[in-house]
Structure 1
């Protein structure tokens, strides 16, 4: 088995650890995390071996960035790349329950947990995370670093932008898009295109008020 280091001792990393142990594809040698309080302890039986900067010491191990959210995950990958970590060093972890038809493509560093479904001609970029029960249907295209919380469902021909985040049990109508760095809230139903950087919530989903409780100054 190839050795694997998990970057961040997060909840996602613990889920990945359980998935990898079930599949037997990799030997997880430990975690790297910048939290000094985690140094030297074990998380679910795997040691925290040092900080993210220590990744350069483990030249024979594959790496998997297990940061839960899209933008921080992107920042960690960029940090590792600046340290000289090449694309070929990143592992891809796909749970054995995931259905992967011919014609679907998954980018390096991506994580697909239990019961994720890809139906036909789905394309996922690099360092994409799909939590349990996510559904991608025909011709969906997902850019790098996007995150899908548990139970998210995409209709056919959906486009998801770079580092977008879709919350638990959210859904996106066919042939619509969610822009780069956008956020879709828990349980939201997206029926029209979400612009870059906006946060949409509700059923049907609309842009979230920037002021709490819908209050707008001067009214």
Structure 2
């Protein structure tokens, strides 16, 4: 059996701790990752421990390392995209992390750095972009396309043939109906139902959801 791969998590906040627990769950099935600790740009966290793992330094420190993989454990999609851009020139590869409760069909494509949390359920012919996050118990229907840095909050439901463009956030318990496109950077509020296309960089709330 190969040795576990060294891994750093970027972000030592609440979602970072959730992703650390995800890594622990993966390793109970197959010891795949050697979690080396966190990195975070908050200097107050440096040289502290989070869940028993050290916070080594900031993103610039990580960019100087050679060999380990990393995952962007940041809840905000725009923050993930900004850090991904900063690390693009570094000789580091992002790790896709999938909780053991998640079934990924052979027709589902996961981009580098995608994170699928406990109970997430992509169905078939789904494209999940780089550094996208599918939080707990969200669902994604057939032929849906999730671009880079999309964030699905817990219990969000994405119907078939939906297109979520770069950096879209879909709030907890929200529903996006079939064949809808949500423009880049848009936010769908918690509990909203989206029946029609949404423009980029809007916030849409309500049932039916309308841009504010």
**TM class, shorter-length:** over 0.9
Separation (CA, whole Å) in 1 of partners of 2:56 and 2:103: 34
Partner residue, 1:21: 24
SS in 2 for 1:17: helix
Larger Cα-atom Rg: 1
SS in 1 for 2:87: helix
Aligned residues: 205
Q: Structure 2: give runs of 5+ residues left out of the alignment.
A: none
Give RMSD over aligned pairs. Answer: 1.0
After TM superposition, the score normalised by the length of structure 2 is: 0.94
Which structure 2 residues correspond to residues 2-41 of structure 1 after superposition, within 5 A? 2-24=5-27, 25-41=32-48
- Pairing 1:91–2:95 present: yes
Partner residue, 2:70: 63
Q: Structure 1: give runs of 5+ residues left out of the alignment.
A: 209-219
Partner residue, 1:201: 205
SS in 2 for 1:12: helix
- Pairing 1:162–2:166 present: yes
List per-residue Cα deviations over 1:91-136 (Å, max 9, x = no partner): 1100011111121100001100000001110111101011100100
SS in 1 for 2:55: strand
SS in 2 for 1:4: strand
Q: Of residues 39, 44, 50 in structure 2, which corresponds to 1:43? A: 50
Contact 2:141 2:158 in 1 (8 A): yes
Separation (CA, whole Å) in 2 of partners of 1:71 and 1:20: 23
After TM superposition, the score normalised by the length of structure 1 is: 0.91
Separation (CA, whole Å) in 2 of partners of 1:156 and 1:57: 41
Q: Which 4+ stretches in 1 moved above 2 angstroms? A: none
Separation (CA, whole Å) in 1 of partners of 2:9 and 2:95: 10
- Pairing 1:184–2:188 present: yes
